[in-house]
Amino acid sequence: MTGARVRAAKGQGGLLREQLLDIAGQLLDDGGGDAVTIRAVATSAGVTPPAVYLHFASKRELVHATCLRVWSSLFIELEAVSQGVPDPVTALYETCVAYIAFGLRHPAQYRLVMDGEATEASRQNEDACFRYFRDKVAACADAGVPVESTTETARLLCSGVHGAVSLLIHQDRDVWPPDTARYAARAASATVHGALLTASHAPHPSTSTVIRSG
């Protein structure tokens, strides 16, 4: 009967949920947030909309679950690049490179979670990112880097990497730099050097300052 609720086989509900998230993720990558609808996901999965509602109470919940599933891999990636790096400043740099690269690989998810309508999940994720960077700054301070405020320095780092991602993902890809890996590396270097250079004081920029720091 048309419109009948489709139930997953016993013990298969988790599999269907993951399938729905896979489909929603593909729709998001192809067409952005507007492309992800309950009906579109149901049609692609070969089920009726009520079957989707068994797992997600609304489109908003579906979209954010899709985004946050990708975001859950971020901290694994950040730890992978910084783990075992003895110099905390280098570890911080590698973390920033990985963050920017992550955002550029997942532009739709990044826009929705970090720049879209705020949700509790988004706020929790932003807070987790900030705390992660603050811990990295604290490690630099523990190693002797003069840091007046780990919180303020972490804010500068977050603004730097977030800005590097946002600058590109809000533009068409054909205007992105041809070598995004080089872009991520330079943006991360500028962010780390700038944040740590002013971590103990905030001098006005001057030619002599730039030459000395170089």
Nearest to 114 by CA among 150, 74, 62: 74
Q: Which CATH architecture has domain 10-56?
A: Orthogonal Bundle (1.10)
Amino acid sitting at position 154: A
Residue ranges of the chain assigned to CATH 1.10.10.60 = 10-56
Per-position DSSP letters for 2-65, written without gaps between them: TTPPPPPPTT-HHHHHHHHHHHHHHHHHHH-GGG--HHHHHHHHTS-HHHHHTT-SSHHHHHHH
Residues 6+ apart with CB under 8 A from 58: none
Nearest to 161 by CA among 199, 132, 139, 138: 132
Residue ranges of the chain assigned to CATH 1.10.357.10 = 59-201
Amino acid sitting at position 151: T
Torsion on CA atoms 188, 192, 194, 198, rounded to nearest 10: 170
**Which stretches of the chain drop beneath a pLDDT of 70?**
1-14, 116-121, 202-214
Residue 200: per-residue pLDDT:
78
Nearest to 16 by CA among 45, 59, 48, 57: 45
Can you read off the two tokens belonging to residue 184? 């991520």
Topology annotation, domain 59-201: Tetracycline Repressor; domain 2 (1.10.357)
Residue 40: per-residue pLDDT:
95
Residues 6+ apart with CB under 8 A from 202: none
Model pLDDT for residues 100-132, shown as the tens digit of each residue: 999 999 998 888 888 766 566 677 778 888 999
> Does the pTM exceed 0.75?
yes
Amino acid sitting at position 167: L
Residues 6+ apart with CB under 8 A from 198: 156
